[in-house]
């Protein structure tokens, strides 16, 4: 929802604003594509009310003006005669500007991507998209042909009304509300009578919102009756909680509709006491890679929500959802105190260790763990880069594609297959594991039966240097030009005659000049003629490429051109030099093709194209004249 001042009209204190065309289309999708899951609207509205009440309770810890009433609750009032359904809360409420901003979340949450995903998703997958994109409020239009929101910000005397039929515009105008909080009134459609039935509403609350910490009530026959149990599941014994309850709670806090891949439910006692209920999803959320690196574990103190910014788990475990509830912190703890208190530091370590140990246990089931790894492996590997305490544990949990086996492998399994004379774990980095497996960079290693790990995630260009060693074995990038192949002998089929490099190398260096830092013969190539490598001590070429993509300013690195003396093309070039032919153009073609092999574009694409066309139309001789 975006502001469009030229199309806004104001009269008698009210203001009308138009939806953008894109948001109007999206509202249509929400209403019609989610028709079979209409009851989800109530879960979303109640969850929003609970969040607002949590927020006010937290803000009241440092601001007395935000204090909650003693009987703070979420009330649902169906009026069959007037065909109205009202959801009210005692939460923080919203000012006029906050109404515009908060009810405009849809436009800042990937409107176009949401619409495309919604159109192509299977019916059973559509409800989960609502929570992932922050568009839950708009699910109200599935059952209402008009929605009114009256809200008063805690600490303010002003109240405002937001109204819309979801078709083209919304209005803002001053309103009255006796106390802080929000009323959302739905004008129920003629085909949605079921959502005016108190029994139906209670069934929905029990299904989706039974574990919300705040009381939820429903008006039935003029009386306000409790609609939810409001039990803190994490405080119960695991034996007293059913799988259905756990799944419902997981969906509530994660906004996902899959079943958890794993559930961790325990209580720590002793020097520190806390209860924890954590979930690892079974599927990767949409646009997961674009989300922030913040922990998704909520901190409670004595069952009361404190904050979801306590960073209970490190960024490399941000796929874990859940709750940690402790007795060892005061209810009025501030965010500054949270960062400094040793209690929270101990809780963080204990919870992180628990999750790591659980993953080690689950990793024993290779097939199940492969599913987890496909979803969250690239995130978990970040721990080897930014967490010195757990980097070795994360290394043991990591899985990789390999040149030697078809299935994912661990570092421990790699070491078990190492040659007797091998003292390093070899790897190569790039954008695609299949392409890496056919890369000239690893030809010599494969020909000698030396296994190479194929690392194709962006983080793979960073963590090996930080990890350094694993089980006493150093990690070595085959693209760094480190010539370790002599210790493994020559490949069995390496009987081809080698070109005269003594005359070829000086001629190529003269032709290429500063375009390369060095040109040398190598024995790490088998079927390829040439390969680019980084100069000794220089940054890996793949790392440099990634940093350039992210817009970082990195000094240009002049690569080393390595040649295969046994390749027919190198033979041909050497013979031309011996015959006195010029090879300037062919030398540049050689360098450009080596760049393309390395996944890069030639520095001068037009010049490369001209050289190739000259070569194809006029032959080598003409290409060099």
Binding residues for ATP, as ranges, are 44, 48, 89, 94, 102, 109-110, 132-137, 182, 335
Tokens of 313: 């788990």
Residues near 5 by beta carbon (within 8 Å), at least 6 away in sequence: none
Evaluate whether 76 touches 201 at the Cβ level (below 8 Å).
yes
Distance CA 513, CA 72 (A): 77
Bridge-based pairing of strands 321-326 and 169-175 is unpaired
Q: List strands edge to edge, sheet with 159-164.
A: 9-11, 14-18, 169-175, 159-164, 144-152, 181-188, 84-89, 74-79, 216-220, 223-226
User: Contact 301/330 with Cβ under 8 angstroms?
Assistant: yes
Structure tokens at 5: 């001042």
Dihedral pair phi/psi, residue 100, rounded to 5°: -65, -45
DSSP 500-541: -HHHHHHHHHHHHGGG-SEEEE-SS-SS-SEEEEPPTTSPPH
Return the ∠ at Cα 39 (arms to 189 and 41), rounded to 5°: 80
Q: How far is CA 465 from the centre of its chain?
A: 23
End-to-end distance of the chain based on CA atoms, in angstroms? 64
Residues 490 and 449: their CA atoms lie apart, in Å, by 11
Annotated binding residues: 44, 48, 89, 94, 102, 109-110, 132-137, 182, 335
Yes or no: say if 61 and 332 are a contact pair by the CB < 8 Å rule.
yes
| Rounded alpha-carbon distances, angstroms, from residue 277 to 271, 303, 351, 435 | 20, 12, 10, 42
Nearest 5°: the CA angle 43, 48, 52 is 150
Comparing C-alpha atoms, which of 481, 466, 475, 383 is closest to residue 424? 475
Kind and range of the H or E element at 428?
strand 424-429
Which residues lie below 8 Å from residue 160, measured CB to CB, with a gap of 6+?
94, 95, 96, 99, 150, 151, 152, 172, 173, 174, 175
**Angle, alpha carbons 586-567-436 (nearest 5°):** 90
CA-closest candidate to residue 315, choices 108, 132, 459, 461: 459
- Strands (E) in 189-333, as ranges, are 216-220, 223-226, 260-268, 274-281, 296-301, 304-307, 321-326
Q: Which helix (H) or strand (E) holds 560?
A: strand 560-563
The torsion angles phi and psi of 107, rounded to 5 degrees, stand at: -80, -20
The number of beta carbons lying within 10 Å of the beta carbon of residue 169 is 17
**Using CA atoms in the order 463, 467, 291, 317, what is the torsion angle rounded to 10 degrees?**
160
Residues in contact with 9: Cβ distance below 8 Å, sequence separation at least 6, in sequence order? 15, 16
């Amino acid at each position: 929802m975006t502001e469009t001042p030229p199309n806004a009209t104001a009269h008698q204190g009210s203001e009308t604003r138009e939806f953008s065309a894109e948001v109007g289309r999206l509202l249509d999708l929400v209403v019609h594509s989610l028709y079979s899951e209409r009851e989800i609207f109530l879960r979303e509205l109640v969850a929003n009310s609970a969040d607002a009440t949590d927020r006010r309770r937290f803000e009241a810890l440092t601001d007395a003006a935000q204090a909650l009433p003693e009987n703070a609750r979420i009330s649902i009032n169906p009026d069959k005669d007037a065909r109205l359904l009202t959801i009210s809360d005692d939460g923080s409420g919203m000012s006029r500007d906050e109404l515009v901003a908060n009810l405009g979340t849809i436009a800042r949450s990937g409107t176009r991507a949401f619409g495309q995903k919604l159109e192509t998703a299977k019916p059973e997958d559509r409800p989960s998209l609502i929570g992932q994109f922050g568009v839950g409020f708009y699910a109200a239009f599935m059952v209402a042909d008009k929605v009114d929101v009256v809200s008063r910000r805690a600490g303010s005397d002003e109240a405002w009304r937001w109204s819309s039929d979801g078709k083209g515009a919304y209005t803002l105008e001053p309103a009255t509300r006796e106390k802080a909080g929000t009323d959302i009134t739905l004008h129920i459609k003629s085909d949605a009578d079921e959502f005016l039935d108190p029994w139906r509403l209670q069934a929905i609350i029990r299904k989706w919102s039974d574990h919300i910490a705040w009381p939820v009530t429903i008006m039935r026959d003029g009386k306000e009756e409790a609609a939810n149990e409001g039990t803190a599941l994490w405080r119960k014994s695991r034996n007293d909680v059913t799988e259905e309850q756990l799944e419902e709670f997981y969906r509530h806090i994660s906004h996902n509709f899959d079943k958890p891949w794993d559930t961790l439910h325990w209580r720590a006692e002793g020097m520190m006491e806390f209860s924890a209920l954590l979930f690892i999803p079974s599927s990767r959320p949409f646009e997961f890679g674009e989300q922030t690196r913040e922990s998704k574990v909520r901190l409670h103190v004595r069952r009361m929500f404190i904050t979801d910014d306590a960073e209970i788990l490190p960024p490399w475990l941000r796929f874990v959802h859940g709750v940690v509830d402790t007795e060892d912190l005061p209810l009025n703890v501030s965010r500054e105190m949270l960062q400094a208190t040793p209690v929270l530091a101990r809780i963080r370590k204990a919870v992180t260790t628990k999750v790591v140990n659980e993953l080690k246990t689950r990793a024993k089931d290779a097939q199940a763990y492969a599913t987890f790894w496909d979803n969250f492996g690239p995130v978990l590997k970040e721990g080897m880069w930014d967490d010195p305490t757990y980097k070795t544990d994360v290394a043991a949990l990591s899985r990789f594609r390999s040149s030697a086996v078809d299935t994912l492998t661990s570092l421990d399994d790699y070491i078990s297959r190492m040659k007797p004379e091998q003292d390093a774990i070899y790897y190569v980095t790039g954008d695609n594991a299949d392409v890496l497996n056919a890369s000239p960079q690893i030809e010599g290693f494969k020909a000698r039966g030396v296994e190479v790990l194929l690392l194709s995630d962006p983080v793979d260009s960073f963590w090996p240097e930080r990890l350094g060693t694993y089980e006493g074995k150093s990690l070595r990038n085959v693209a760094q030009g480190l010539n370790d192949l002599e210790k493994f002998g020559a490949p069995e089929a390496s009987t081809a005659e080698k070109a005269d490099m003594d005359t070829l190398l000086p001629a190529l260096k003269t032709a290429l000049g500063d375009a390369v830092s060095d040109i040398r013969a190598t024995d790490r190539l088998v079927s390829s003629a040439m390969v680019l490598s980084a100069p000794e001590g220089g940054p890996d070429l793949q790392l440099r490429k990634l940093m350039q993509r992210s817009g970082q300013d990195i000094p240009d690195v002049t690569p080393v051109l390595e040649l295969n003396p046994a390749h027919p093309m190198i033979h041909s070039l050497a013979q031309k030099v011996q015959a006195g032919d010029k090879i300037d153009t062919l030398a540049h073609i050689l360098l450009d093709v080596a760049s393309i092999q390395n996944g890069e574009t030639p520095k001068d694409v037009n010049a490369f194209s001209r050289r190739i066309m000259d070569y194809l139309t006029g032959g080598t001789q003409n290409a060099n004249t």
